[in-house]
Amino acid sequence: MTARSARTAVLLAALLALMPAAASGQAASPAAMRETLSIGDEPGRVSTEEVVIREGPFARQLVFFRTHEPAGTVVVHTSERFLYVVLGNNRALRYGIGVGREGFTWSGLVRISRKAEWPDWTPPPEMIQRQPYLPRFMAGGPGNPMGARALYLGSTVYRIHGTNQPETIGHAVSSGCFRLANGDVIDLYSRVPVGSKVVIRHAAAL
């Protein structure tokens, strides 16, 4: 080996030693993954309507659910990150959801005032003020943060809707809306008609 070749080999070894662990095939730590998880709205990111949460606690499932609400009522427990459709006989269909982040949680009683497939998105002025980079209007479609379906909650600015970020289900991420994976919100949309009662609670009532 010539002196020049030796110097080149030493330089390459030094550069490889300085490269981050991810580049050498090692997995990033859970803490690093949490730090890099983007939970903001991502206009243009595509998520198809088939996405469903299939495993873990946030997968859609039939559960025991004690309530005095009549069948057909939608009950949201924000602290648990679950939405329930009451079926009667102490049973409900439960969906995992994303909820409002700190400072954007709320509770109350409303009704579904409107439903839409692949809804358009017009961020309210308050959201534009907080996130001026957002578009003022975005037509519905797979890249829209509102997802595949939307159920509008009374006269409020809030909705139950799909998302193009299914990995955020189970987290407190939104500005007050409740989000489901697209496949799950399509299922919910088919079960809940306009006029249905929606009860939003922070936690289950004792």
8 pLDDT band (50/70/90 cuts)?
Answer: very low
pLDDT (0 to 100) of residue 127:
80
Query: Is 144 within the bounds of a domain?
Result: yes
Query: Is 187 within the bounds of a domain?
Result: yes
Query: Is 110 within the bounds of a domain?
Result: yes
- The enclosing domain of 118 has a CATH number of 2.40.440.10
Number of domains forming the structure of the chain: 1
Query: Is 141 within the bounds of a domain?
Result: yes
The CA distance from 87 to 104, in Å, is 29
106 pLDDT band (50/70/90 cuts)?
Answer: very high
Burial of 132 (0-12, 13-18, 19+ CB in 10 A): exposed
Query: What pLDDT, in 10s, does the model give residues 152-179?
Result: 999 999 999 999 899 999 999 998 999 9
Query: What pLDDT, in 10s, does the model give residues 48-59?
Result: 556 888 899 999
pLDDT (0 to 100) of residue 172:
93
40 pLDDT band (50/70/90 cuts)?
Answer: low
Mean pLDDT of 7-21: 36
Domain that holds residue 91: 61-201
Query: Is 43 within the bounds of a domain?
Result: no
Mean pLDDT of 93-119: 95
Query: Is 48 within the bounds of a domain?
Result: no
Query: Is 17 within the bounds of a domain?
Result: no
Whether 99 has a pLDDT exceeding 90, the answer reads yes
HSE-CB at 73 with a 13 A cutoff on CA atoms is 18
Which residue has tokens 């969906």?
95
Which residue has tokens 């009860």?
199
Query: Is 47 within the bounds of a domain?
Result: no
